[in-house]
Amino acid sequence: MNTQVADTVVAGQQRRKKTVVRRAAPDESQRLRRIVQWVFVALNVWIGAQFLLWVRFFERGGQGWQVSRPAGVEGWLPIAGLMNLKYFVLTGRAPTMHPAAMFLLVAFLAMSVVLKKSFCGWLCPVGTASETLWKLGRKVFGRNWQVPRWLDPELRGLKYLLLLFFVSVIAWMPAEALRDFMIGPYGTIADVKMLNFFRDIGWVGIAVIGWLVLLSMFVQNFWCRYLCPYGALMGLVSLLSPVKIRRDAEACIDCGKCRQACPSHLKVDQLVQIRSAECTSCMACVASCPVENALQLALPPRKAAEPADRWRARVIRPRAAVAVLAVIFFGLILFARMSGHWQTRVPQHVYMLLVPNANEVSHPM
Ligand code: SF4
Ligand code: SF4
């Protein structure tokens, strides 16, 4: 039951009396988000373990326990996903090599269109690791730090530059070149090479990752905010989303809690809607808001007699957000499976030749 508390509230510059309706029940978005995040981490660990077993089978010359290759590993091949997507757009034909990379990319892009950068805020295992690190840093050091305001926009531009680099490399490739790259030796075992990068990581790689871990403990979402081109792509696409964090200025008591809670440092308490490409739909702001219905993830308001009813009916509750993400994710996987475009089909003898010699296979360009 809602508790009606008549308060005198200082609202920005204007002092006015407001009836404040305190939140009746704690918001469940963060609990649900943590569950989804860690389920996705577990899924990726399982995929990674199965893929390692699959690779070891070929490295042992076909000895030992043979498992099937998990197509989900292609979610870690975003460039292959982009190349395949362009190939599909140009030819209308589904790619034969790493098709799951394309379907997963499409699923994550669809999530961005529907629910802003929700892939980053709800699913991405790197995002989950990043969030865990800044929370750990806050526990250890008592706080997180912010990059100086004059430097922050410049650093944020880095991820867009990286995205521009990858997109422009792919942009000039015609369909035949994309197909030849993907079905060539390097494209065929791009996933094995990625695994080997981490298995044979040198001191330089360890130092770079170590620095990123350390910086992520000091600065919230350092990698995602400044360096991740995949997140940059999701952010740009998310600008199309009709769903946004929306603030009801009438109900808001200007407490500023939402702004403090936002890991993307957005001025949630000053805006009526958050359009920013940095918003991950994490709903931390919504969870922190003490006022019923003052801040919501919602579709655009519609005409209604009562101002308060304008967008209340169009609110996306956390459970609905999870359901939407699940429908998009599993729906596209199901579609790809049923249409026969989920698994990469390469003859076993080709893998037998390429996988053990993956480190000798060089980039064709
Ligand atoms: S505005 Fe809210 S939903 Fe968007 S990133 Fe900030 S805390 Fe998350
Ligand atoms: S948390 Fe933000 S939206 Fe909610 S009352 Fe405070 S300032 Fe307003």
Residue with tokens 């989920």: 342
Q: The tokens 């292609």 sit on which residue? A: 74
- Report the alpha-carbon distance of residue 313 to residue 246 in Å, rounded: 13
Atom of ligand 2 nearest to the CA of 259: 2
Averaged pLDDT, 161-167: 97
In this prediction, residues 322-340 reach a mean pLDDT of 97
- Residue 12 and residue 79 in one domain: no
Residue 297: give the domain boundaries.
3-28+244-322
- Residues 171, 254, single domain; the answer is no
> Could you tell me how many residues make up the chain?
365
| Helical (H) or strand (E) element with 18 | strand 14-22
Backbone angles phi, psi at 77, to 5 degrees: -120, 70
Residue 357 lies in a domain: no
Regarding whether 291 and 147 lie in a shared domain, the answer is: no
Q: What is the pLDDT of residues 230-287, one digit of tens each?
A: 999 999 999 999 999 999 999 999 999 999 999 999 999 999 999 999 999 999 999 9
Q: Say if residue 226 is in the same domain as residue 88.
A: yes
Q: What angle do CA 88, 91, 94 make, to 5 degrees?
A: 40
Residue 356 inside a domain? The answer is no
- Whether residues 219 and 270 share a domain: the answer is no
Residue 283 CA, ligand 1 centroid: distance in Å: 5
3-state secondary structure 24-76: CCCCCHHHHHHHHHHHHHHHHHHHHHHHHHHHHHHHCCCCCCCCCCCHHHHHH
Lowest-pLDDT range of 156-160, 242-246, 300-304, 319-323: 300-304
Please state, in angstroms and rounded to a whole number, the distance separating the CA atoms of residues 365 and 319.
Answer: 46
Same domain, 154 and 60: yes
Cα–ligand 1 centroid distance for 263 (angstroms):
7
Q: Answer whether residue 90 is part of any domain.
A: yes
Looking at residue 20, its pLDDT comes to 72
In this predicted model, what pLDDT tens digit does every residue of 88-126 receive, in sequence order?
999 999 999 999 999 999 999 999 999 999 999 999 999
| Same domain membership, residue 302 and residue 258 | yes
Domain contains 98? yes
- Quick one: which atom of ligand 2 is closest to the CA of 253? 5
Residue 159 included in any domain: yes
Residues 20 and 37 in one domain: no
Nearest atom, ligand 2, residue 247 CA: 3
Residue 249 in domain? yes
How does DSSP assign 144-198, residue by residue?
-B---TTTHHHHHHHHHHHHHHHHHHHHT--HHHHHHHHHSHHHHTHHHHHHHHH
Asked whether residue 304 carries a pLDDT value surpassing 90, the answer given is no
Residues 228 and 277 in one domain: no
Query: Is residue 110 lining ligand 1, measured as CB closer than 6 Å?
Result: no
Whether residue 8 has pLDDT greater than 50 = no
Question: Measuring from atom 4 of ligand 2, which residue has the nearest CA?
Answer: 289
Confidence of residue 162 (pLDDT cuts 50, 70, 90): very high
Burial category of 162 from C-beta neighbours within 10 Å (exposed 0-12, middle 13-18, buried 19 and up) = middle
Residues 6+ apart with CB under 8 A from 358: 189, 192, 193, 196
- Ligand 1 within 6 A of CB of 178: no
DSSP helix, strand, coil percent of the chain (3-state; round to 5): 60, 10, 35
Task: Report whether residue 268 contacts ligand 1, using a CB cutoff of 6 Å.
Answer: yes
Q: Do residues 36 and 23 both lie within one domain?
A: no
pLDDT score of 21? 72
Residue 161 domain flag: yes
Instruction: Kindly give, in sequence order, each residue whose CB lies less than 8 Å from that of residue 362, ignoring residues fewer than 6 positions away.
Output: 186
Among the bound ligands, name the one nearest to the CA of residue 263. 1
Position 97 in a domain:
yes
Tens of pLDDT, residues 53-67: 999 999 999 988 889
CA of 10 to the centre of ligand 1 (A): 24
Q: Which ligand is nearest to the CA of 270?
A: 2
Phi, psi angle pair for 127, to nearest 5° = -60, -40
Kindly state whether residues 289 and 167 are assigned to the same domain.
no
User: DSSP characters for 239-282?
Assistant: TT-S-EEEE-TTT-----HHHHH-TT---TTT-SB---TT----
Q: How many domains does the chain have?
A: 2
> Confidence class of residue 172 from pLDDT cuts 50, 70 and 90?
very high
Indicate whether 280 and 141 sit together in one domain: no
